[in-house]
Amino acid sequence: MRDETERSYTLKEENLEGNQITVGHGHFKAGKFSRISCTSLSLGGGIVVVGPFAKTGNTSDDIRKAAYKKFCQQNRNFKQLFKSHKKLYLVYPDGTLVEKLPDGKEVFSILGYRDFLDPKKRFDRLRLYLCSKQNYQAENGLIEIVTDSSSEDEQLPPLVLSHTRSEYMDNSSEELEESLILVKEVIFHYNGNEWKENFPNNTKGSVLASFIETTLKMSKGEFHLKVCDGGRDVMADDRLQDLADEEEGECNRLEELEKAIPANFCDQSADRTADIIAEATLEIMADVSEPVSILKEYREQFLQGRPLDVVSMAEAIEGDTSAIFISRNNLFEDAMEELKNLGNIRCPLEVSFYGEEAMDLGGPRKEFLAFLMQEIQDRFLVTHQGDVILQINEDAIGKHHFFYAGMAVGIGILQGADIPEHLLHVTTQPQQEHVRQFRSGLRRTGVLQLLESKPNIRHLFTQRKSINVTSLLHTFHTIFSEEGSNKRHKEEEAYRFFVKYVRDVYSGRRGNVTVERILKFATGSASFPVLGYGIAPTIEFVDTRYPTSSTCINKMYLPNEEMIAENYDMAFMNDYFGLE
């Protein structure tokens, strides 16, 4: 109680203003510690500013817990990766643990660290990092094992076995690799106490169990061993080195999850990254059968770079994209060539149409993918004996067009395109070369792996929700002026006219205009997206003669007073009335 009182006094006494610290998230890779970029959201990348802290009254644990909480608020993937702050260490920029100051002379304090670097340095310029225990331990040869009661009625305090450093046995043999760890020093933590012991790296789980029995005077029926972060039980024949290898394997897996995926047909090794992302998603969603949730989770894990959707036109969005340049008059051929040269298919496409200056914040991408899906369907699908199949085309096979078409379908699914239902059905055809290519392209995006593991995902694209007057109007949130104002009265009259117009369209009384065209005009897609809208579609009233739209934010602008129906016809039949 006295310690808490003293600490409270310290916190009140300190001037907390400005004593904030920047904390990033990093990991060891190829022997070096580096930060995980904020563009790698699926890996929990980014930085947070936490505080204010007392200059001397707060510990490294306080910073670690505050940073963990802030990261969880900022990035939902972070909490999925790390269920507790206990799975993380706080480290310096060089990857060493924050326990003492970098010179090792004093226990860490915020003031001490600032003065060690530069007494004139601002506190918010200090930079520390969170690092996963698994990653840190794999780099430094560490293992953690915990014992729990095997009884459902009694939970023993946890006992942790953590390998803190590696000892090397003297051996003059030149054949022995210097990096071979022969002895592991471990620390046991139990009920507030700790002690150290050395074990050979080939020590079996049965020996560890015997050690615990002897040391804690516990019988075998009272506990079992399990790897802390891995969660699996330690079997009698498991060896310490094997457990360390598993943790290193998990570290390698995290590195693999961060890799870019090139589009090139010949780079078959890129498929491994997609395999691992799919496996990780299926592990996270092991207890989930609902296909939309699974596909959304996979999209979160797969996509890198700039956010897919713009939240507001007033906010700048940053991050990597995959830029492609397309002629509307040669769309398919340009698409095949541009897709071939993508360096990372995990980044959102940024589409530029020749001769058009619109910046792609989502609208041109949606339009391009919609046109490309239709081109793929028209060129490659035929009806044969009542079934829709992929048509053999030797020239397209030679150019690997079926591969890039399959990859485009996978990209389209993950980036919100309207996918014709038969394009996924053809993956079940007998596997001739053109079908194998198409499946390989789909596999490069990880979508094929999901379809094979969760076949019900396929139904999302074959059982589409139909569009009628009610579903179309309910899709939009309509923004009106203040109740009782003259503007509000005019806007309600304009909206009443729009509702009547939509009813006429649905009844076929407006020529070639359809409710699907109206939806596409506003959102860039002629159907409701399988994964839902990133930004809810809205209607806003402006002083104009024709409807316009901004498809990147799913917003349609209607004239703020009643107009002739022909003005609406002209707008909805002309894609160029969309702004972005």
Are the C-beta atoms of residues 365 and 351 closer than 8 Å to each other? yes
Active-site choice (72, 228, 251, 552): 552
Three-state SS letters, 413-452: HHCCCCCCCHHHHHHHCCCCHHHHHHHHHHHHCCHHHHHH
Nearest to 54 by CA among 45, 63, 46, 67: 63
Q: How far apart are CA 516 and CA 472, in angstroms?
A: 9
Nearest to 434 by CA among 412, 407, 401, 385: 401
Nearest to 54 by CA among 93, 101, 7, 89: 7
SS3 536: coil
Q: Please report which helix (H) or strand (E) contains residue 23, including its range.
A: strand 21-29
Most distant CA pair in the chain, distance: 94
Q: Please report which helix (H) or strand (E) contains residue 487, including its range.
A: helix 486-506
Q: Which residues contact 252 (CB under 8 A, 6 or more apart)?
A: none
Q: Is 552 a catalytic residue?
A: yes
Q: How far apart are CA 537 and CA 476, in angstroms?
A: 5
Identify the residue whose tokens are 């790390």: 82
Q: Please report which helix (H) or strand (E) contains residue 326, including its range.
A: strand 322-326
User: What does the DSSP assignment read for 145-175?
Assistant: EEEE-S-SS--PPPEEEEEEEEE------TT
Nearest to 404 by CA among 448, 437, 371: 437
**φ, ψ of residue 324 in degrees (nearest 5):** -135, 150
Q: How far apart are CA 439 and CA 376, in angstroms?
A: 14
Three-state SS letters, 201-255: CCCEHHHHHHHHHHHHCCCHHHCEEEECCCCCECCCCCEHHHHHHHHHHHHHHHH
Strands 159-167 and 144-148: antiparallel
Angle, CA of 260, 265 and 269, to the nearest 5°: 50
Three-state SS letters, 30-42: CCEEEECCCCCHH
Strands 538-542 and 555-559: parallel
Query: What percent of the residues of the chain are helix, what percent strand, and what percent coil, each to the nearest 5?
Result: 45, 20, 40
Q: Which residues contact 175 (CB under 8 A, 6 or more apart)?
A: none
Q: Which residues contact 511 (CB under 8 A, 6 or more apart)?
A: 569
Cis check: omega of the bond before 52, within 30 degrees of 0: yes
Tokens of 200: 């050979």
Q: How far apart are CA 28 and CA 252, in angstroms?
A: 10
Active site residues: 552
